[in-house]
């Protein structure tokens, strides 16, 4: 119940201060997230908050790579530390830090817990050191597009690989898709895309009438002009290979309840993989599911020699 209440708070609470014109108000994040990149990775400033944008990745500029670099894009109210267990699972299969990257596009996030896989000691230590007070911060897609775009360009320049992979979870799916819509020049370089529990066609947490109350609901409530524009641009496209990971039962993931929303994360033209009765964050963290989307990436995003 506590986990459900946290998710509901993330997507349904009206906040105050610092709103863009015409947007519902939102609070400032707690502060910057941890910066855990290699020492020679250039610093990027968050476009909205003007502080050092956190995240992790890299060994040294142009260090050898055996895989197309993967960029992990977190969901609402959290940060790049959410991906540490996934990073470790990839590293256990021969991937290196030069090939694995994540950004914190909204500053220091809160914690969206897992039903089954709750331990993330490195994240907990980082957040404790940063003075995490447990407060939540609701962001949206549009304000984070420029941060993700600049981060993709940084990874390309640093690794020397023009090709890249995007793996998004929750709001990170639509942030990544919108970045590819706005910056169409990236599409030929996208090798693979994995969208985990993304609100591609709406979410339970943004019911009709929620627009104007929560910033993200202005975009990802079912039937918004924002989602219509995103999907009209093509739900999937080549040369990249696409996969979605989702509950599909309408019961396991509280973000997509019932027949109205159960299939919302599905994308036309993707390899759509349902894992019935799986909780929102476990779709990202379950080792068996991580192995599935890692194998998909390894199959379809091979490094060209």
Say what the alpha-carbon torsion angle 201, 202, 208, 213 is, to the nearest 10 degrees.
-130
Question: What is the spatial distance between Cα 30 and Cα 110, in angstroms, rounded to a whole number?
Answer: 9
What is the average pLDDT across 148-168? Answer: 98
- Domains along the chain with CATH numbers: 2-300 (3.40.50.1820)
Residue-wise pLDDT for 14-37, tens only, equals 333 333 445 656 678 889 999 999
Confidence (pTM): 0.92
Q: Is 250 left (phi over 0), alpha (psi -120 to 50) or beta?
A: left
Question: What is the spatial distance between Cα 7 and Cα 23, in angstroms, rounded to a whole number?
Answer: 21
Residues with Cβ within 8 Å of residue 83, at least 6 apart in sequence: 72, 74, 102, 284
Confidence check: pLDDT of 300 > 70: yes
Confidence of residue 209 (pLDDT cuts 50, 70, 90): confident
Q: Which residue has the tokens 């080792």?
A: 287
**CA dist list (Å): 216 to 123, 140, 144:** 25, 4, 12
DSSP 151-213: HHHHHHHHH--S-EEEEEETHHHHHHHHHHHH-GGGGGGEEEEEEES--BTB-TTS-TT-TTT
67-99 in b/e burial notation, b at 16+ Cβ within 10 A? bbbbbbbbbbbbbbbbbbbbbeebeeeebbbbb
The per-residue pLDDT of the chain, averaged, comes to: 89
Residue-wise pLDDT for 42-74, tens only, equals 999 999 999 999 999 999 999 999 999 999 999
Question: What is the spatial distance between Cα 116 and Cα 285, in angstroms, rounded to a whole number?
Answer: 9
Strands of the chain, DSSP E: 35-37, 54-57, 70-73, 100-104, 164-169, 190-196, 241-246, 271-274
Question: What is the spatial distance between Cα 278 and Cα 253, in angstroms, rounded to a whole number?
Answer: 6
Confidence of residue 305 (pLDDT cuts 50, 70, 90): low
Among the listed ranges 48-52, 104-108, 212-216, which one has the minimum average pLDDT value?
212-216
- Please report the pLDDT score of residue 119 as a whole number: 74
- Please report the pLDDT score of residue 46 as a whole number: 96
Confidence of residue 276 (pLDDT cuts 50, 70, 90): very high
């Amino acid at each position: 119940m506590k986990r459900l209440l946290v998710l509901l708070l993330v997507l349904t609470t009206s906040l105050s201060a610092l709103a863009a014109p015409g947007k519902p108000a939102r609070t400032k994040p707690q502060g910057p997230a941890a910066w855990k990149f290699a020492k020679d990775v250039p610093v990027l400033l968050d476009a909205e908050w003007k502080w050092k944008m956190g995240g992790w990745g890299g060994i040294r500029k142009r260090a050898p790579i055996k895989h197309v670099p993967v960029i992990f894009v977190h969901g609402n109210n959290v940060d790049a530390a959410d991906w540490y267990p996934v990073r470790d699972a990839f590293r256990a299969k021969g991937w290196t830090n030069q090939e694995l990257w994540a950004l914190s596009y909204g500053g220091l996030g809160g914690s969206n817990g897992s039903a089954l896989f709750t331990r993330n000691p490195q994240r907990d230590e980082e957040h404790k050191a940063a003075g995490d007070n447990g407060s939540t911060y609701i962001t949206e897609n549009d304000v984070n597009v420029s941060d993700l775009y600049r981060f993709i360009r940084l990874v390309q320049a640093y690794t020397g690989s023009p090709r890249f992979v995007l793996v998004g979870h929750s709001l990170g799916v639509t942030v990544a898709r919108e970045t590819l819509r706005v910056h169409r020049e990236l599409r030929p370089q996208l090798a693979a895309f994995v969208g985990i529990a993304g609100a591609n066609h709406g979410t339970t947490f943004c019911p009709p009438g929620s627009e104007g109350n929560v910033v993200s609901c202005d975009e990802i409530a079912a039937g918004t002009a924002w989602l219509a524009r995103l999907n009209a641009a093509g739900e999937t496209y080549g040369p990249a290979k696409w996969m979605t990971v989702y509950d599909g039962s309408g019961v396991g993931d509280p973000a997509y309840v019932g027949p109205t929303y159960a299939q919302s994360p599905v994308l036309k033209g993707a390899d759509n993989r349902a894992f019935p009765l799986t909780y929102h964050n476990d779709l990202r963290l379950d080792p068996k599911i991580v192995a599935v989307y890692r194998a998909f990436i390894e199959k379809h995003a091979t490094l060209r020699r």
